[in-house]
Amino acid sequence: MSLKHTPEPAADDRRKSPRTQAVIPVDYSTVDAFFSEFTMNINEGGMFVGTDSEHAIDTLVTLRFRLPGSEAPCEVVGRVVWLREAADEEGPRGIGIEFETLDDGTRTRINDLVRELRTQA
């Protein structure tokens, strides 16, 4: 598992919370398919998942992932809110997912991870 701090997003970035780069295995499913990929960054608002699979904006996905140092997996529902249709200087092809449901325990674990990675930078 690879973890690395990434700089604050640009001022015009729509995210409410800065994302921290964290390569974490993620299983996710849509209504009719199941996928195993990797998240490239995460915060309490969502994550980017690197994938070559085709997904439309507004697709609902159920995500399951295990944060570093945590034994219990996180399971959340999210919505595809943006696409990177081809790899470029910003990163690999993939989807930006905004969390629709995030319980307090999972939010705390994500925030703790982000804080820990920032103090290491």
CATH number assigned to the domain comprising residue 113: 2.40.10.220
What does the pLDDT read at residue 14? 53
Domain count, the chain: 1
Question: CA-CA distances (angstroms) from residue 77 to 27, 87, 97?
Answer: 12, 25, 9
The pTM score is 0.77
d(CA 20, CA 47): 9
As given in the structure block, the two tokens for residue 91 are 């990163």
Mean pLDDT of 71-78: 91
d(CA 10, CA 112): 23
What does the pLDDT read at residue 60? 95
Q: Which domain holds residue 42?
A: 2-120
Question: CA-CA distances (angstroms) from residue 49 to 11, 16, 27, 37?
Answer: 22, 18, 10, 7
Nearest CA to 23 among 91, 79, 111?
91
In which band, very low, low, confident or very high, does the pLDDT at 8 lie, cut at 50, 70 and 90? very low
